[in-house]
């Protein structure tokens, strides 16, 4: 599904140039559950953002489903993104002005799903995430674990082929964290490819494969058994 | 989709009541004022447009006089229209109007003085769109004693009865039968004649019944043969594509052929559509005021839009996270753009609703204030066009930039809180604040300059005394018994002096170019303002004789002239006293020179004037009172009036009020400008208040840290306020030259005017600064006094 080769990303400020990704090469197949690990500042989020087409690489190739997208413009990337990728963040990033239901509904609105279909599909995922009873609450009224479940619901409601999760359990206690990991595992078993950044070896164990980064380069790959 | 946008918009308003209130308040006030002003402008620009032939109708004028006395006569001689119609192929039709004004009409026991009485050609009803709604359209007048009236006049005289065939009395003995009724004139018509008789009647009265001896050389038997009496407004209906210069030449040729001694007498035409806002020679006659108001209206709307743009872009920083998430979830730029457009539109609809309610409530006051008759009737297409255009324009101006800005956030950076648009954006906001204050300061300076000029007008030494003087326009009987009236009135202890004159001293009157004097230069075509007087006029008005002497009140005075200093200069005389002078049919001697005085508005330079001793032409009675006894004097004048002119209601005026009325336009402009600048500054301060609040919010953390580090409250206020004060100072610097130019232009219209002094700029600058400072301080003080521990926790 994903194949990147010699990917490079620099950040230039007035005084320094940071190499966030340094000739990074990796591959992720459809249906895989991959964890990315590494020390703080090694470039995990940068990589995830490029994979998620939120950012573009400076050098190298990024093939997504066999299409070279490294040089796609913003509009094309956005289009590809909204039909294929769901995001889950450490800090949930729900929209405060919208209720649980509306937050989850939003991606469907943007892809132009009809109103009747939207209700059905949102209710379906809310049910699955066991958050249905909170559908009319606002994010501030929910616990962290509940918010993350809503965020996951929002990420999957459009049935994306790929879910990118950046430290999804980072702000949660271990019990809520485990719930979230179970949810991701379920999704993966139903066929969704998952790439997750994490600092937790415990969480990484849910995945099939761990890619370890250091200074923007792959240093090791562990295959889980 | 739209439902979702609206929902978010609504929640945004509810969650940010403070900003929403400031925005709605600013927009509402801006819309109300802006729309009212634009309606006024639109009304001014629409004058006479309702006429189908409007673009083919021209008014004819004559250029008379040379030097300072050069002027344009809008009322010309009667035969030009007749000749033009028969001889000039470009002319399809012609209309003459002889407006005499103040004609007394009587029906049964009702008596009215009709200021809007005129003799008109029958073509008046077809050349202009004033068709008869009752009566015979083809023959508005059946004979000389027919009269056509407007619907409201019919109502006034006859109530609900059918007006056709009713007979009213004009003056003492002239019967007039109503043969036609026209609809009331629209408010934006330059023509307002409510009672009209045919010009043939004027001809009969003035030339057939009473032979006119005005033209010295021969008796004139019809008005079409009278090449001397300038009294007819003349309008020509032309064919398409007429060469106006050639037409003017043809008219001039007609005149000069028939009255060679007038040559050269250049003719002038003015399009009907320019009549309302331009003078006959094409110079400004109100258009610049309309333009100024239009510009000010736009400025006020812009200030209101700026508020919105400023506040919403400032707040956009706080919304960066939301926008990024929407993008990441799949919103494309256009969808986000639409969302913000809808949000603005939503706020706009709320403001517009408030604005409509306010306008509806304020409309009567606006009409009273502006002298307009605007109604929000559904059929008035132009008004709605104006309102809708304003709303859409304002909406576009305030929505597009914030929508573009917000929708083009880069999602990643915004999510991390590193909104780089911040910096450029702040500069942009600063420009907007500077613009707002620059406009406000220009308006304040404008207000001050207008105020000063008005004070200057009020206090100007006119060269004559106008205090505590009552003027009464006498009718025949009273005029013929002037001596008796005078003696009666003087018995009144409150009456100090009595005199009479041929014209109202403070305004325009008749003038003539028909004159000759010893040593008159060959090329001189100087015109005299004629002032008929008796011997008391000069002392009565405390005018000064600088040379020679006043009239003595003897028969020989009818061949004596007094002239003013300007006349002496213009005539090129060295020792005027004793020189021969002919004015029209009177040849006599100059016996004295009167010190210049303003017998006109001070828009005009003092023109040459001649005083002629002719009590018979003195229709104006002047009564000088002690002031406190004015009412008694009026009462006894009224008693005398009844004795002589009982058929006509008694009217009088105070001379100083008549003078003040000359400047009502300026007075209105003055009070309007007061209002505008107040509103501009209020809206600007609303915006500034919002920005200061935002700035304090954003800096809460910084302030907290500084306080922990030991900064004093004063220092923190200075920190917050200085950011804005710099902007105000820049605004002042920009505003001053702009205001200077604008007001210099306004003053141009006065022959006698004030100089714009530094004082005005200083007052305006200090005023604006203080108001702005007060506005900012409220927020800054609050922020500075806040407990640092709390604000640090907040982050
Ligand atoms: N916008 C930016 N401008 C400059 N440098 C940046 C920017 N974003 C990231 N970097 C730098 O790039 C490098 C990689 O950052 P990245 O956020 O990918 O690290 P990370 O592995 O996700 O770290 P963490 O585990 O702390 O989240 C870091 O050195 C960081 O300082
Ligand atoms: Mg990271």
User: How much is the CA Rg of chain A, to the nearest whole Å?
Assistant: 17
> Which residues of A lie closer than 8 Å to B, measured between beta carbons?
49, 52, 54-55, 75, 78-79, 81-82, 87, 93-98, 102, 106-107, 109-111, 154, 158
pLDDT at B471 over 50: yes
Alpha carbons B181 and B596: distance in angstroms, whole number: 48
User: Across residues B273-283, what is the average pLDDT?
Assistant: 86
> Do residues B156 and B112 lie in contact, with contact meaning Cβ atoms separated by under 8 Å?
yes
Estimate the crossing angle of helix B287-316 against helix B421-459, to 10 degrees: 150
pLDDT band at B149 (very low <50, low <70, confident <90, very high): very high
Look at strands B609-613 and B469-473 and give their pairing: unpaired
B549: nearest Cα among B539, B503, B497, B570 = B539
Tell me, what's the pLDDT at B217? 56
> Do residues B169 and B107 lie in contact, with contact meaning Cβ atoms separated by under 8 Å?
yes
B550 versus B454: the higher-pLDDT residue is B550
pLDDT at B794 over 50: no
Look at strands A33-37 and A209-214 and give their pairing: parallel
How many Cα atoms within 13 Å fall on the side-chain side of residue A171? 17
pLDDT digits (tens, 9 = 90+) for B703-740: 777 777 777 777 877 877 787 888 889 999 999 999 99
Tell me, what's the pLDDT at B424? 42
Number of domains comprising chain A: 1
Ligand 1 atom nearest to CA at A39 = 25
Sequence-ordered strand ranges (E) for B595-665:
609-613, 620-625, 653-654
B746 CA from centroid of ligand 2 (Å): 65
B256: left (phi over 0), alpha (psi -120 to 50) or beta: alpha
Residue found by looking up tokens 């610097």 in the block: B733
Ligand 1 atom nearest to CA at A12 = 4
Query: Which residue of chain A has the CA closest to B332?
Result: A78
Between residues 332 and 371 of chain B, which touch chain A (CB distance below 8 Å)?
Answer: 332-333, 335
Tell me, what's the pLDDT at B669? 76
> Do residues B302 and B292 lie in contact, with contact meaning Cβ atoms separated by under 8 Å?
no
User: Across residues B669-686, what is the average pLDDT?
Assistant: 82
B453 versus B409: the higher-pLDDT residue is B453
Tell me, what's the pLDDT at B627? 84
Percent of all residues in chain A with a pLDDT value above 90, rounded to a whole number: 58
End-to-end CA distance of chain B: 34
> Do residues B141 and B124 lie in contact, with contact meaning Cβ atoms separated by under 8 Å?
no
User: Across residues B268-277, what is the average pLDDT?
Assistant: 93
Q: Write down the pTM of the prediction.
A: 0.78
Tell me, what's the pLDDT at B3? 80
Burial of B529 from C-beta contacts in 10 A (0-12 / 13-18 / 19+): buried
Tell me, what's the pLDDT at A83? 87
How many Cα atoms within 13 Å fall on the side-chain side of residue A87? 27
Alpha carbons B351 and B28: distance in angstroms, whole number: 5
Alpha carbons B597 and B545: distance in angstroms, whole number: 11
Contact (CB<8Å) A158/B330 = yes
On chain B, the residues whose CB falls within 8 A of the CB of A111 are 330
Alpha carbons B344 and B419: distance in angstroms, whole number: 22
Tell me, what's the pLDDT at B214? 52
Alpha carbons B75 and B244: distance in angstroms, whole number: 19
A37 CA from centroid of ligand 2 (Å): 10
What is the token pair recorded at B140?
């508005």
Q: Between A and B, how many CB-CB pairs are < 8 A?
A: 57
Q: Which string of DSSP letters, residue by residue, matches B165-195? A: T-EEEETTTEEEEEEEEEPPPPTT-S----E
Query: How high does pLDDT run on average in chain A?
Result: 90
Query: Which residue of chain A has the CA closest to B410?
Result: A54
> Do residues B445 and B735 lie in contact, with contact meaning Cβ atoms separated by under 8 Å?
yes
ipTM here: 0.87
- The region of weakest confidence among B84-88, B422-426, B472-476 is B422-426
End-to-end CA distance of chain A: 22
Ligand 1 within 6 A of CB of A39: no
A18 CA from centroid of ligand 1 (Å): 9
A38 CA from centroid of ligand 2 (Å): 10
User: Across residues B103-123, what is the average pLDDT?
Assistant: 89
pLDDT digits (tens, 9 = 90+) for A157-197: 988 999 999 999 988 888 889 989 999 999 999 999 999 99
A46 CA from centroid of ligand 1 (Å): 6
Contact (CB<8Å) B329/A106 = yes
| Atom 14 of ligand 1, nearest CA residue | A43
Peptide bond into B264 cis (omega under 30): yes
Contact (CB<8Å) B325/A95 = yes
> Do residues B440 and B353 lie in contact, with contact meaning Cβ atoms separated by under 8 Å?
no
Residue from A8, A24, A37, A42 to probe ligand 1 pocket by mutation (most atoms less than 8 Å from CB): A42
User: Across residues B241-268, what is the average pLDDT?
Assistant: 90
| Atom 2 of ligand 1, nearest CA residue | A11
Q: How far is CA B449 from CA B186, B347, B574, B754, B760, in A?
A: 35, 37, 41, 9, 7
Ligand closest to Cα of A12 equals 1
What is the token pair recorded at B227?
């090449």
pLDDT digits (tens, 9 = 90+) for B282-303: 887 788 888 888 888 888 888 8
Ligand 1 atom nearest to CA at B413 = 1
Alpha carbons B687 and B315: distance in angstroms, whole number: 13
| Atom 26 of ligand 1, nearest CA residue | A40
Query: Which residue of chain B has the CA closest to A55?
Result: B412
Tell me, what's the pLDDT at B394? 84
Between residues 268 and 327 of chain B, which touch chain A (CB distance below 8 Å)?
Answer: 321-322, 324-327
Q: Which string of DSSP letters, residue by residue, matches B511-573? A: EE--EEETT--TT----EEEEEE-TTHHHHTT--EEEE----SSGGGGGEEEEEHHHHHHHT-
Sequence-separated (6 or more) residues with CB below 8 Å from residue A54: A81, B328, B411, B412
B664: nearest Cα among B318, B286, B390 = B286
Which of B1, B321, B332 lies nearest to residue A93, judging by beta carbons?
Answer: B321
State which of A198-202, B319-323, B519-523, B597-601 shows the largest mean pLDDT: A198-202
B297: nearest Cα among B35, B45, B561 = B35
Query: Which residue of chain A has the CA closest to B327?
Result: A78
> Do residues A88 and A194 lie in contact, with contact meaning Cβ atoms separated by under 8 Å?
no
Tell me, what's the pLDDT at B362? 93
User: Rounded to a whole number, what is the largest CA-CA distance in chain A?
Assistant: 54
Percent of all residues in chain B with a pLDDT value above 70, rounded to a whole number: 95
Tell me, what's the pLDDT at B649? 81
CATH label of the domain that carries residue A44? 3.40.50.300
* DSSP alpha helix (H) spans, B371-505: 381-407, 411-415, 421-459, 476-480, 482-490
Query: If residue B588 lies in a helix (H) or strand (E), which one and from where to where?
Result: strand B586-594
pLDDT at B402 over 90: no
Neighbours of B536 (CB within 10 A): 18
- The region of weakest confidence among B214-218, B599-603, B608-612, B791-795 is B791-795
pLDDT at B420 over 60: no
B781 CA from centroid of ligand 1 (Å): 39
Percent of all residues in chain B with a pLDDT value above 90, rounded to a whole number: 33
The domain of A200 spans 2-223
State which of B202-216, B511-525, B620-634 shows the largest mean pLDDT: B620-634
Domain ranges (residues) in chain B: 1-47+276-421, 54-274, 436-455+663-795, 469-661
- Torsion angles phi and psi, residue B581, rounded to 5: -145, 135
Contact (CB<8Å) A82/B330 = yes
pLDDT band at B312 (very low <50, low <70, confident <90, very high): confident
pLDDT digits (tens, 9 = 90+) for B581-627: 998 888 999 999 999 998 888 888 888 999 999 888 888 999 999 98
On chain B, the residues whose CB falls within 8 A of the CB of A98 are 8, 11
Query: Which residue of chain B has the CA closest to A83?
Result: B330
Q: Which string of DSSP letters, residue by residue, matches A86-140? A: EEEETT----TTS-HHHHHHHHHHHTT--HHHHHHHHHHHHHHTT-GGGTT--GG
Ligand 1 within 6 A of CB of A11: yes
pLDDT digits (tens, 9 = 90+) for B484-522: 999 999 998 889 999 999 888 777 677 777 888 888 877
B788 versus A222: the higher-pLDDT residue is A222
User: Across residues B64-76, what is the average pLDDT?
Assistant: 76
Tell me, what's the pLDDT at B16? 84
Ligand 1 within 6 A of CB of A198: no
Query: How high does pLDDT run on average in chain B?
Result: 86
pLDDT digits (tens, 9 = 90+) for A58-116: 999 999 999 999 888 878 888 888 889 999 988 888 888 889 999 999 999 888 899 89
B696 versus A52: the higher-pLDDT residue is A52
């Amino acid at each position: 599904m994903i194949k990147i080769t010699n990917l490079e990303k620099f950040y230039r400020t007035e005084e320094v140039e940071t190499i966030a990704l340094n000739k990074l090469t990796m591959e992720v197949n459809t249906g895989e559950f991959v964890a990315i690990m590494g020390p703080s500042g090694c470039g995990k989020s940068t990589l995830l953002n490029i994979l998620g087409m939120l950012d573009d690489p400076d050098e190298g190739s990024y093939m997504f489903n066999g299409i070279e997208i490294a040089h796609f413009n913003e509009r094309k990337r956005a289009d590809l993104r909204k039909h294929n990728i769901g995001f889950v963040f450490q800090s949930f990033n729900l929209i405060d002005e919208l209720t649980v239901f509306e937050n989850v509904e939003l991606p469907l609105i943007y892809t132009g799903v009809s109103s009747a279909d939207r209700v059905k599909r949102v209710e379906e995922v809310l049910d699955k995430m066991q958050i249905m009873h909170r559908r009319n609450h606002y994010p501030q009224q929910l616990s962290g674990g509940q918010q993350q479940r809503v965020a996951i619901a929002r990420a999957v409601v459009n049935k994306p082929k790929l879910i990118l999760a950046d430290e999804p359990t980072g702000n949660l206690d271990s019990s809520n964290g485990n719930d979230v990991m179970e949810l991701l595992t379920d999704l993966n078993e139903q066929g969704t490819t998952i790439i997750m950044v994490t600092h937790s070896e415990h969480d990484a164990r849910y995945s099939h494969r761990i890619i370890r980064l250091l200074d923007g380069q792959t240093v090791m790959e562990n295959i889980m058994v | 989709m739209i439902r979702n946008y609206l929902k978010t918009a609504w929640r945004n308003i509810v969650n940010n009541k403070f900003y929403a209130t400031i925005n709605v308040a600013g927009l509402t006030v801006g819309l109300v004022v802006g729309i009212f002003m634009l309606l006024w402008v639109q009304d001014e620009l629409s004058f006479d447009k309702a006429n189908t032939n409007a673009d083919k109708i021209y008014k004819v004028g004559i250029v008379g006089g040379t030097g300072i006395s050069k002027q344009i006569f809008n009322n010309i001689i009667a035969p030009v229209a007749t000749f033009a119609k028969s001889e000039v192929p470009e002319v399809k039709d012609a209309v003459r109007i002889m407006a005499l004004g103040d004609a007394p009409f009587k029906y049964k026991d009702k008596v009215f003085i009709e200021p809007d009485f005129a003799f008109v050609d029958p073509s008046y009803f077809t050349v202009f769109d004033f068709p008869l709604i009752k009566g015979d359209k083809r023959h508005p007048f059946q004979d000389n004693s027919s009269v056509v009236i407007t619907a409201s006049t019919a109502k006034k005289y006859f109530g609900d009865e059918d007006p056709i065939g009713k007979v009213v009395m004009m003056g003492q003995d002239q019967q007039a039968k109503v043969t036609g009724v026209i609809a009331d004139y629209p408010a934006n018509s330059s023509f307002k004649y409510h009672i009209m008789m045919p010009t043939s009647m004027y001809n009969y009265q003035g030339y057939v019944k009473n032979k006119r001896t005005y033209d010295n050389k021969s008796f004139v038997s019809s008005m079409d043969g009278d090449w001397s009496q300038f009294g007819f407004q003349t309008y020509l209906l032309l064919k398409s594509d007429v060469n106006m210069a050639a037409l003017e030449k043809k008219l001039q040729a007609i005149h000069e052929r028939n009255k060679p001694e007038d040559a050269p007498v250049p003719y002038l035409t003015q399009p009907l559509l320019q009549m309302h806002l331009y003078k006959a020679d094409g110079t400004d006659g109100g258009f610049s005021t309309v333009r100024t108001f239009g510009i000010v209206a736009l400025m006020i709307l812009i200030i209101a839009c700026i508020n919105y743009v400023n506040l919403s872009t400032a707040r956009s920083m706080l919304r960066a996270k939301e926008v990024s998430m929407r993008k990441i979830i799949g919103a494309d730029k256009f969808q986000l753009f639409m969302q913000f457009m809808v949000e603005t539109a939503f706020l706009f609809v709320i403001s517009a609703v408030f604005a409509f309610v306010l306008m509806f409530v304020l409309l009567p006051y606006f009409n009273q204030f502006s002298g307009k008759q605007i109604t929000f009737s559904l059929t008035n297409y132009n008004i709605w066009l104006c309102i809708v255009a304003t709303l859409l324009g304002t909406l576009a101006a305030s929505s597009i930039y914030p929508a573009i800005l917000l929708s083009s956030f880069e999602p990643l950076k915004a999510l991390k809180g590193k909104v780089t648009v911040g910096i450029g954006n702040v500069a942009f906001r600063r420009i907007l604040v500077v613009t707002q204050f620059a406009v406000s300061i220009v308006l304040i300076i404008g207000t001050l300059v207008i105020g000063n000029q008005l004070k200057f007008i009020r206090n100007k030494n006119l060269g004559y005394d106008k205090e505590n003087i009552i003027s009464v326009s006498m009718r025949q009987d009273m005029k013929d018994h002037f001596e008796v009236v005078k003696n009666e009135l003087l018995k009144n202890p409150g009456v100090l002096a009595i005199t009479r004159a041929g014209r109202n001293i403070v305004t325009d009157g008749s003038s003539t170019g028909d004159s000759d004097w010893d040593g008159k230069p060959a090329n001189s075509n100087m015109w005299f303002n004629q002032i008929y007087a008796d011997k008391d006029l000069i002392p009565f008005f405390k005018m000064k004789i600088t040379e020679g002497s006043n009239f003595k009140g003897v028969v020989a005075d009818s061949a004596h002239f007094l002239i003013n200093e300007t006349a002496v200069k213009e005539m090129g005389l060295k020792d005027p006293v004793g020189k021969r002078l002919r004015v029209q049919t009177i040849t006599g001697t100059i016996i004295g020179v009167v010190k210049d005085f303003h017998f006109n508005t001070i828009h005009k330079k003092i023109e040459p004037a001649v005083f002629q001793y002719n009590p018979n032409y003195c229709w104006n009675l002047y009564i000088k009172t002690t002031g406190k006894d004015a009412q008694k004097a009026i009462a006894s004048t009224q008693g005398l009036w009844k004795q002589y002119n009982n058929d006509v209601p008694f009217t009088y005026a105070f001379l100083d009020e008549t003078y003040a009325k000359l400047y009502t336009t300026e007075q209105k402009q003055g009070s309007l400008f007061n209002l505008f600048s107040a509103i501009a500054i209020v809206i600007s301060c609303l915006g500034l208040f919002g920005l200061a609040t935002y700035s304090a919010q954003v800096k809460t953390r910084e302030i907290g840290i500084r306080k922990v580090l030991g900064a004093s409250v004063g220092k923190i206020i200075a920190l917050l306020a200085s950011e804005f004060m710099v902007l105000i100072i820049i605004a002042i610097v920009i505003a001053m030259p702009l205001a200077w130019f604008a007001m210099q232009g306004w003053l141009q219209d006065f022959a006698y005017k004030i100089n714009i002094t530094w004082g005005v700029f200083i007052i305006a600058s200090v005023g604006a600064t203080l108001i702005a400072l007060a506005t900012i301080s409220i927020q800054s003080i609050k922020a500075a006094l806040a407990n640092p521990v709390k604000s640090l926790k907040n982050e």
